[in-house]
Amino acid sequence: MTPKEALDQLARAAAELRNQLEYLREIGVNELTARSRPPAARYSAKNEVPLADSTGEHAASPISISRGKQQTFFSEIGNPSNGTQDSSLESIRADIGECTRCKLSQNRTNIVFGEGSPQARLMFVGEGPGADEDRTGRPFVGRAGQLLDRMIEAMKFKREEVYIANVVKCRPPGNRTPERDEVSTCEPFLFRQIAVIKPAVIVTLGLPALQCLLKTSESISRARGNWREWNGIKVMPTFHPAYLLRSPDKKRETWEDLLKVMQFLLSST
């Protein structure tokens, strides 16, 4: 590595760290110590083992999760193929084609399929593309997406290590909530993406994603922070980052939800 490359790498790491610290400061987390137990521990379900490393210390503080450990738990989980399953993300994308199955196709610029690691242990499901996503064909790249990036980084993940998708893959006009027929037409593709990726945890962002996966009439305020399941996969409902931009006081609750997710992912490695 040349000195310039080393400096660039250092600058990128510093920028990433600053980002994380900014998110944490915004949500009111001012002190981080390697041994502090995360608030999530208070809520852990009975059947979940509290996180402890071999010395008996709690290893669950956001900043005590080393890159090394993180890479281990990503690389160990493969995507076992039984040869008869729904093949690949590419084939799902191919089946969507130049979709005209619902009326959202009339106004879209790009289909926003989703992106990230096909081996992701952590998957986020949002509502549907906004203007920036429609323009670029990529999920969560606008203002809400930048907040999601900070949330992902605060969880000690890289964006490319997780998978990000939406309930509907075309932008609803004026960013309105997707309608029932649009969701029912599009959701089979999301379900196939989940089945191929087989994440350990799905975080649903906002009400439409919660309703799509859990077919519940509960409010997001009631449902958030409580573990659910979709076909054997753990689901953690939380607020949508666009909502957090409007109601920053809710960031603290979302952070608690994300801590539960981090804790589960570490304990189930």
Instruction: Kindly state the smallest distance separating residue 254's Cβ from ligand URA, in Å.
Output: 8
- For the CB of residue 239, give the shortest distance to ligand URA in the complex, in Å: 3
* DSSP output for 90-124: HHHHHHH-S--SSGGGGT-SS----EE-TT-SEEE
Give the nearer residue to ligand URA in terms of CB position, either 9 or 184.
184
Beta carbons of 61 and 266 less than 8 angstroms apart: no
Residue nearest to ligand URA (CB): 126
Q: Closest CB to ligand URA among 62 and 142?
A: 142
CA dist list (Å): 242 to 5, 142, 148: 36, 10, 9
Cβ proximity to ligand URA: between 48 and 218 the closer is 218
Nearer to ligand URA by C-beta: 116 or 128?
A: 128
Nearer to ligand URA, 113 or 230 (CB): 113
CB of 27 to ligand URA, least distance (A): 15
Closest approach of ligand URA to the CB of residue 221, in Å: 8
DSSP string, 118-163: TT-SEEEEES---HHHHHHS-SS-SHHHHHHHHHHHHTT--GGGSE
**Least separation in angstroms between CB 168 and ligand URA:** 9
Residues in contact with ligand URA by the rule CB under 6 A:
126-130, 133, 139-140, 142, 144-145, 166, 206-207, 220, 239-240, 242-243
* CB-based contact 262:155 (threshold 8 Å): yes
Dihedral over alpha carbons 97, 102, 105, 111 (to 10 degrees):
-50
